[in-house]
Structure 1
Amino acid sequence: MAKARELFLESGSLPRLPMRTGIVESWRRSRLSGVASDHLDPPYFDDLDTGGRLIHAARPVLDRLQEVLSDASASLLLTDAHGRILDRRVEHASLAACLDRLQLAPGFGYGEEYVGTNGIGTAIEARQVAAVFGTEHFTERLHAMACAGAPVHNPLTGRLAGLIDITCWIKDANPLMAALASEAAEDIEQRLLELGSEHERALLTAFLGISRRGGAVVTVSEDLVIANEHAAHLLDSTDHTILRDKVTELSRAGRELVEQVMLAGGDMATIRLRPVGARAEPAGAIVEIEIAPDARPPRHLIRPPQLRLAGSSYAFTKACTDLGTHCRNRTWVLLEGEPGVGKLALAEAVHRSHSPASPFMVIRPQDLAEDRPACQRRITEAIGTPGATVVLRHPERYPQETISALLEWMRTTAHHPGRPWVVATTHLEARPPEDLSSALAVTLTMPALRHRIEDVRDLVPALLRRLSRGGPVSCSPAAMRVLLRYGWPGNVTELLQALRSALTRRRIGEIQPQDLPESCHVTSRRVLTPWESMERDAIVRTLRDTDGDKALAAHLLGISRATIYRKISTYGISIDGR
């Protein structure tokens, strides 16, 4: 086996030797992924779900198996679906020290793409029990070890939930390791089923109890959404995105939340979110939605026609109208929103629509750091200049020594008859100086693009005109559908970058789906690692090159058809084809 591995690393070929099924395929995948054969450097992750359903289901199984193996020089490992280690059980100090040196410990990723052929990553790739002994490991540093991993599937969804692995020194290896890991995986799956049923019962009980009161009620969990008839008629797909974002906030807060939100149809709603518990782990959240008749905004809000910004959704129109009103009244505003959402563009458009010939000044943190006297002269000159606007960009990043002078200028200017209109723009989670925030009378939130996804239809032609300088290029209906399915975490800035990239592939005519960046073809909810982003992009490119033929794409990538289907599901890749 050692000679076969050496020959494979040197030439990519193998001698005619009997080898266990799956090892050669794993070596090829490891080589394709660029894994070093003489080096071990698994990545560390600090954002793992160490309190989720898998941990709760696996804990008693691990406790029982740890007791059974207490006299053996073996370790138990539990990983998530990506091979990242969540829990480790090892009794012998010498084995624990060895595992530490190999970074086979909680937080580290042992996926095949990181460390090559091993019991964890190879079992995940093959979607079946995998045992790897000694020199079968792709990486030389693991040759002294033996391991057997068994995938754990969620019986309610069929998706891979994680993996249980038994690792020991090669001298202590036993053929029964794989059988023991497989049996433990089945036990965990049974507990997942029981917990899942308990979670569903808890959610359904809470939903039925609150629905009897009337009103719109929705329950949201990782795998389940239940809405009563009132909520189904009230909410659209954009509103469901808003609710999921709020449920994520609820999970972080760990307590009941009550908030005012603008629904996509223009109704101002009060939503009450409460966690629904099931033993140690929350099952999800129950959401009550109430629309007060006296709080209902006008249904036919008209955006100022002179405002030259693309977008016609109610949420965006209301933001434009509200900021325009504050501009006319010279009311100072804190304009917040996610990065790339277009806060500065909105402030400038509102200013130009009301005072096109007046100065529009933007003060950035780097401006104050480089030439504070010049910035102070500019904002001082704004006093008494009719229609002037001063935008304070990211004041939370201003040098500390400038804050006092800025606050003094604001106090002096506040009651001046010719005072400028002041707008401070900042990210949602930023914390501007408290005294500065107090000087701004109103806070407005610029809605994220995913909360007004219909605006993409207006933004795309407007951005293409800007990027192509009026050239003969447009967006095809198929490409527009791709853009409308994407979540745009980077908002308008990301959309602009995507169209700029598409124009490098097609300068005239209609932009097609294959012209768009790979990231636009996915709907993944989590942030990907750099390696995962590269893998996702390679799969998307190959699927586009093969017109969506998944079997051919898998062959070209050197992976199995099962693996490519799993990767497509994991990354939320959407490519039309076979």
Structure 2
Amino acid sequence: MANSAGAAACIARARTYFLETGAVPVVPVRHGIVQSWLRSRWSGVSCDDLDPPYFDDIDAEGSLERAAKPVLDQLEQTLSDAPVSVILTDARARVLDRRVPYGSLQRTLDHLRLLPGFSYAEEHVGTNGIGTARATRCLTFVDGSEHFTAPLHEMSCAAAPIRDRRSGRLVGLVDITCWSPGDGPLMSAVVCGAATDIEVRLMELGSRRQRTLLEEFRTAERYHGQAIVAVADDLVIANQRATSFMRPSDHSIVRDAVTELLRAGKERATDVVLSGGEPVTIRCHPVDEHSAVVRLSVMDTSRTRPRSRIRPADLKLAGTSPLFADVCAELAMHRQAFSNVLLEGEPGTGKLALARAVHYRYAPEKAFTVIEPTDDVAARCRADRGLSGGTAVFRHVELFTDSARAAVLDRLDAFAKDTDRVWVVVTTDVGAELPDEFLSRLPLTLTVPPLRHRIEDVQWLVPALLSTFPLARYVSCGPAAMRVLQCSSWPGNVAELAQVLRHALNRRRVGQIQPEDLPEPCYGRAGHVLSRWETIERDAIVGALLETRGDRAAAADLLGISRATVYRRISTYGITVESR
């Protein structure tokens, strides 16, 4: 039932109180609405202006649209005498179809940009039926002042999620929108029934497609020894040979490559790199416009790196990602051989902590000395005698003065002539330029990966970092907060993660850290935890956009991919490079 005039006024006052103070109002506002207000605030949504983004790459003729069309046709006919609009969106809350019979309502929705191509995701427009149903995966009714953004206060909407019944994956949403006040129970019942009908039709259409795809997959398996993968919009089937080297994160890489090939409309091949670094060739045989059977050929398998002998856990470091494990193993190997190493990485990645961990793994009784740019470098180099078997770390040498660098070079030469072996590690930020005389004395370079490229390690880093804080004795990280942390891009890397946890401990002294305990910048826009390949792809797109001053078409040409792919990735990864 719609909110009464008194209740609506009470909700409006509660919203004003929330926006002015940031505190949860004590007046009776539905819990789901308050939680949506909090998410909207964390996402930086304006409470006064409506600015939904537009996407020109929506799939208005896909399987969801085909399954929904007869349902929407029937619903449109049934509601033809009512001033309501029926709306279908994809899983990202981008409008695919809109049915509206009344001219005045149509003009209002046009003004609100509730139109095909525009996204009404909660992170873009705040609390609303479509976006909040997407965020909660539940039937949602939002009326009047319950909307976070003021321009939507004249509207009432109910939306229901549409799921793939085989996988449980969200594939879209169906919504009814009218002027406020709206009849919540009636509108909710209608969209719930429509979502059910669309799900049934999706299953029927998908069953026929999957049977055809499975037949093609079995035929392709006749190629003895080949790695075969069948790919559809919501399905990946791999034979035993393919699963022997593919990781779960590789499925999205192969699916994206196949999507690009299918647009060409014929059999084609392309090369991609899997999440573990293995280069493969994909040969695509289209089954229909949305599915294909592909053959995968691994290239240069002889160059595959051996499994790490030393794990991060052996060094008492948190993390299990292959990328970080490889760096740990290689650095440990060079420590055993006393090979000088240039250790580079973004600020906050933990270069010094890694060098210290390797040192104490092999020579805990020996000296470990660190020389900083702020030290009297020449004096420290003269004083650092008796390091036999120990480690000398020259930190951020790109910031050293010319005289300090000269002192370091003399010390490196002295170490090389000394019969008492000393392990030397020189650390720099990625991209720092060092003179050739430095590089000639440091033949080995290792790069510590940024945290966004090993995001799976966050679940291990968080408890490890918390254990170092005295205030965290009775505190752990709750699963909801952990999901937020895993979806952040972490430009400040492990150091930033530690700072965020300190902030959370100021709010939570006992129990589990919750999302509301985290600082607002942590509430990222990504809808899922990114794989290493996805973060590398995101960084490449950001770099291209910066190089082209925000020109998306030019960035697509620079990267050698379609404009539609660039637009899609910008939305998926929450990239916000402005045009200049």
Q: Give the TM-score normalised by the residue count of structure 2.
A: 0.52
Counterpart check, 1:393 vs 2:429: yes
2:408 to 374, 379, 382: 382
Measure, in 1, the Cα distance between the counterparts of 2:148 and 2:226: 59
Amino acid at match of 1:44: P
Q: 1:62 to 1:390 in 2, by over 3 A?
A: farther
Q: 1:335 to 1:31 in 2, by over 3 A?
A: closer
Whether the aligned pair in 2 keeps the contact of 1:149 and 1:178 (CA below 8 Å) is yes
Provide, for residues 317-342 of structure 1, a one-character-per-residue CA deviation record: whole Å limited to 9, x for no partner.
543343466786978878679x9764
Measure, in 1, the Cα distance between the counterparts of 2:146 and 2:317: 60
Q: In the alignment, what sits opposite 1:30?
A: 33
Q: 1:205 to 1:527 in 2, by over 3 A?
A: farther
Q: In the alignment, what sits opposite 1:544?
A: none
Measure, in 2, the Cα distance between the counterparts of 1:317 and 1:144: 55
Q: In the alignment, what sits opposite 2:290?
A: 281
Provide, for residues 239-274 of structure 1, a one-character-per-residue CA deviation record: whole Å limited to 9, x for no partner.
6344246447647976855467697xxxx9664556
Unaligned runs of 5+ in 2: 15-26, 41-45, 262-267, 360-367, 370-387, 416-423, 530-580
Counterpart check, 1:164 vs 2:171: no
Provide, for residues 127-159 of structure 1, a one-character-per-residue CA deviation record: whole Å limited to 9, x for no partner.
569797x89989885576566656534343455
> How far has the Cα of 1:83 moved from its partner?
5.0
Q: In the alignment, what sits opposite 1:564?
A: none
Whether the aligned pair in 2 keeps the contact of 1:488 and 1:494 (CA below 8 Å) is no
Unaligned runs of 5+ in 1: 13-23, 368-373, 399-405, 429-444, 521-525, 534-578
- Mapping of residues 226-375 of structure 1, within 5 Å: 226-229=237-240, 234=244, 240-244=247-251, 246-247=253-254, 250=257, 258=271, 271-273=280-282, 279-282=288-291, 288=296, 301=309, 316=324, 318-323=326-331, 342=350, 345-346=353-354, 356-362=390-396, 374-375=400-401
Counterpart check, 1:79 vs 2:89: yes
Measure, in 2, the Cα distance between the counterparts of 1:140 and 1:311: 45
Measure, in 2, the Cα distance between the counterparts of 1:34 and 1:44: 17
Counterpart check, 1:51 vs 2:56: no
Whether the aligned pair in 1 keeps the contact of 2:271 and 2:280 (CA below 8 Å) is yes
Provide, for residues 537-569 of structure 1, a one-character-per-residue CA deviation record: whole Å limited to 9, x for no partner.
xxxxxxxxxxxxxxxxxxxxxxxxxxxxxxxxx
Counterpart check, 1:214 vs 2:214: no
Whether the aligned pair in 1 keeps the contact of 2:71 and 2:198 (CA below 8 Å) is no
Measure, in 1, the Cα distance between the counterparts of 2:294 and 2:469: 47
Q: 1:7 to 1:111 in 2, by over 3 A?
A: same
Q: In the alignment, what sits opposite 2:567?
A: none
> How far has the Cα of 1:362 moved from its partner?
1.2
Whether the aligned pair in 1 keeps the contact of 2:158 and 2:188 (CA below 8 Å) is yes
How many pairs are equivalent?
Answer: 453
Alignment root-mean-square deviation, CA: 6.6
- Mapping of residues 24-173 of structure 1, within 5 Å: 29-30=32-33, 33-34=36-37, 41=49, 44=52, 50-51=58-59, 53=62, 56-57=65-66, 75-80=85-90, 85-88=95-98, 95-105=105-115, 106-109=117-120, 151-158=161-168, 160-167=170-177
Provide, for residues 201-228 of structure 1, a one-character-per-residue CA deviation record: whole Å limited to 9, x for no partner.
4653454344332355555767545444
3-state secondary structure, aligned to 1:358? strand
Provide, for residues 457-501 of structure 1, a one-character-per-residue CA deviation record: whole Å limited to 9, x for no partner.
7x7897567x158x997999x999x999x9687686687568768
Measure, in 2, the Cα distance between the counterparts of 1:321 and 1:304: 8
Q: 1:64 to 1:304 in 2, by over 3 A?
A: closer
Q: In the alignment, what sits opposite 1:448?
A: 454
Whether the aligned pair in 2 keeps the contact of 1:384 and 1:420 (CA below 8 Å) is no
Whether the aligned pair in 2 keeps the contact of 1:51 and 1:281 (CA below 8 Å) is no
3-state secondary structure, aligned to 2:5? helix
Measure, in 2, the Cα distance between the counterparts of 1:316 and 1:48: 38
Q: 1:256 to 1:468 in 2, by over 3 A?
A: farther
Q: 1:210 to 1:102 in 2, by over 3 A?
A: same
Measure, in 2, the Cα distance between the counterparts of 1:311 and 1:89: 51
3-state secondary structure, aligned to 2:89? strand
> How far has the Cα of 1:393 moved from its partner?
0.7
Amino acid at match of 2:290: E
> How far has the Cα of 1:360 moved from its partner?
1.2
Measure, in 2, the Cα distance between the counterparts of 1:463 and 1:60: 52
Whether the aligned pair in 2 keeps the contact of 1:112 and 1:125 (CA below 8 Å) is no
Counterpart check, 1:197 vs 2:231: no
3-state secondary structure, aligned to 2:174? strand
Amino acid at match of 1:57: R
Q: 1:305 to 1:247 in 2, by over 3 A?
A: closer
Amino acid at match of 1:382: V
Q: 1:123 to 1:202 in 2, by over 3 A?
A: same
Whether the aligned pair in 2 keeps the contact of 1:341 and 1:446 (CA below 8 Å) is no
Counterpart check, 1:3 vs 2:5: yes
3-state secondary structure, aligned to 1:360? strand
Measure, in 2, the Cα distance between the counterparts of 1:97 and 1:335: 57
Q: Give the TM-score normalised by the residue count of structure 1.
A: 0.52
Amino acid at match of 1:393: D
Measure, in 1, the Cα distance between the counterparts of 2:255 and 2:316: 34
Measure, in 2, the Cα distance between the counterparts of 1:500 and 1:74: 49
Identical residues among aligned pairs (%): 30
- Mapping of residues 379-528 of structure 1, within 5 Å: 379-386=405-412, 389-395=425-431, 406=433, 409-410=435-436, 413-414=438-439, 419-420=441-442, 423=445, 425=447, 448=454, 450=456, 467=468, 514-515=511-512, 528=524
> How far has the Cα of 1:196 moved from its partner?
2.7
Q: 1:137 to 1:274 in 2, by over 3 A?
A: same
Provide, for residues 95-121 of structure 1, a one-character-per-residue CA deviation record: whole Å limited to 9, x for no partner.
554224334344343769966676885
Whether the aligned pair in 2 keeps the contact of 1:262 and 1:315 (CA below 8 Å) is no
Q: 1:312 to 1:4 in 2, by over 3 A?
A: closer
